[in-house]
Amino acid sequence: MVNIRGADTPTDRLRCAVVGSGNIGSDLLLKLRRSTVLEPRLLVGIDPASDGLRRARRLGIEATAGGVDALLAAAPDIDLVFEATSAAAHLANAPRYRAAGLTVLDLTPAAVGPYVVPAVNLTEVRAEPNLNLVTCGGQATVPIVAAISRIAPVSYAEIVATIASRAAGPGTRANIDEFTETTADALCRVGGAARGKAIIILNPADPPLIMRNTVFAAVAADTDVDAVTESIERMVETVQGYVPGYRMSAPVQITPRGGPDGGLRVSVFLQVTGAADYLPSYAGNLDIITAAAIATAERIRPELKAEVGA
């Protein structure tokens, strides 16, 4: 049984638990501690020797190696769960969360619930009990495809996400196939592309490279290129509102696509510098998905606090 410190103390903040004590879970805890509307109450893992669990305890946060069973025992004292494990784990855990009435933000590519990209579709899905944060590459690139598609139909979108090998923990490595499938699907479902493709590259360079993302989108030849460029620039500013290290590394390029179909190719080159809360700044892949999760949680807080009667 987990005895959460301060569980009986009324709070206006959203009481949060993080499941997964690896890179993503550890980074989430540090961001949660800075939030004025979210409160980290519990870190859940399965390895008693986990560095993440030890670190949480040093920060004064309750931590347990009792797995999801321990979380469910503490469910009355939790408003929101962040799943930071693996796609396979979330597929197993999701029905149990649902039965316990817990709202979940899923940072794995399991895609159990609808996708959420805060800059694009949070308003439409914010009431859902299980929201999927897509992937780090999806959080970086789906907003750009959405920015293009709000000006012109995107017949095809392809993205390449390059991350430092050192920034890819066991969960990321175990989910490579799910990463590509989920990201490609989100390019269509949230980004608005008719077809999508995603590629991930783990770069072993030393010193590690900062996360880079390339977006290619196919649009019609008569597309208003100035409007597309302006829309992309506005979207970058929106994402920077919750991921300060997100930026374009070169101006938008719009060129003839060639081939029998003609049309134009929109090329966008992105760089994500991490906030270095947990891993160094090269781990932009870690930072963008945890920052997106925090932004989502802070914006859905009013509804959740109303549900629990706070």
121 in a labelled binding site: no
Radius of gyration of the chain, Cα coordinates, nearest whole angstrom = 20
Selecting among 61, 78, 131, 136, the annotated active-site residue is 136
**E strand intervals along the chain:** 14-19, 38-44, 62-64, 80-83, 103-106, 130-132, 156-164, 196-203, 211-219, 246-248, 253-256, 264-272
52 in a labelled binding site: no
22 in a labelled binding site: yes
Active-site residue flag, 136: yes
* Amino acid occupying residue 279: L
CA distance 11 to 305: 10
SS3 19: strand
The DSSP string of 282-304 is T-HHHHHHHHHHHHHHHHHHHHH
Distances (CA, A) of 132 to 36, 83, 99, 211, 282: 23, 9, 18, 21, 24
103-106 and 246-248: which strand pairing?
Answer: unpaired
Q: Which of 74, 51, 66 is nearest to 5 (CA)?
A: 74
Q: Which of 208, 296, 279 is nearest to 55 (CA)?
A: 279
289 in a labelled binding site: no
60 in a labelled binding site: no
* Residue 12: both structure tokens together: 């206006």
Q: Please report, in range form, the residues annotated as the binding site for NAD(+).
A: 21-24, 285
Task: List the catalytic residues.
Answer: 136
